[in-house]
């Protein structure tokens, strides 16, 4: 019985170490976690000098207000590469990010085509007022 307990403890420690190493090596959210995180919630903050607020709808629509501008209706997906992407129409095309798990209501996003572009935005539960 004692050997079984020690063997179980050793296996548990090995599995925990393996999972921890994987989490450290790849701490970005997968597509399912992204969908769960954003659907029905909102985000606000600064993007390249512009303040924005946005609400994520379950149907793949996101309403985005850019300060000093207007409210945009764009589409969002979490793709099979575990990226959060918004489609801004033919003029602006796609904008994709990798998300890390939020900490204290802050979501870290890394732009896919420019890994030096790292943003930290405020994640809110439910929708926020985005009217100008």
Q: Burial letters for 72-87: b for 16+ Cβ neighbours within 10 Å, e otherwise?
A: bebebbbeeebbbbbb
Answer whether residue 103 shows pLDDT above 50.
Answer: yes
The mean pLDDT value for 59-88 works out to 96
d(CA 116, CA 99): 14
Answer whether residue 106 shows pLDDT above 60.
Answer: yes
27-124 — its CATH code?
2.40.128.640
Answer whether residue 76 shows pLDDT above 60.
Answer: yes
Answer whether residue 47 shows pLDDT above 50.
Answer: yes
Q: Which pLDDT score is estimated for 26?
A: 62
Answer whether residue 75 shows pLDDT above 70.
Answer: yes
DSSP 21: H
């Amino acid at each position: 019985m004692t050997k079984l307990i020690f063997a179980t403890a050793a296996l548990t420690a090995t599995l925990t170490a393996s999972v921890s190493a994987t989490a450290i090596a790849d701490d970005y959210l997968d597509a399912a976690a992204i969908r769960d995180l954003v659907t029905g919630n909102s985000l606000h903050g600064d993007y390249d000098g512009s303040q924005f607020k946005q609400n994520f709808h379950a149907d793949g629509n996101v309403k985005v207000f850019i300060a000093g501008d207007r409210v945009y209706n764009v589409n969002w997906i979490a793709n099979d590469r575990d990226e959060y992407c918004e489609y801004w129409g033919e003029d602006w095309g796609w904008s994709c990010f990798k998300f890390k798990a939020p900490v204290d209501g802050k979501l870290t996003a890394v732009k896919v085509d420019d890994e030096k572009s790292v943003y930290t935005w405020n994640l809110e539960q439910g929708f926020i007022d985005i009217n100008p």
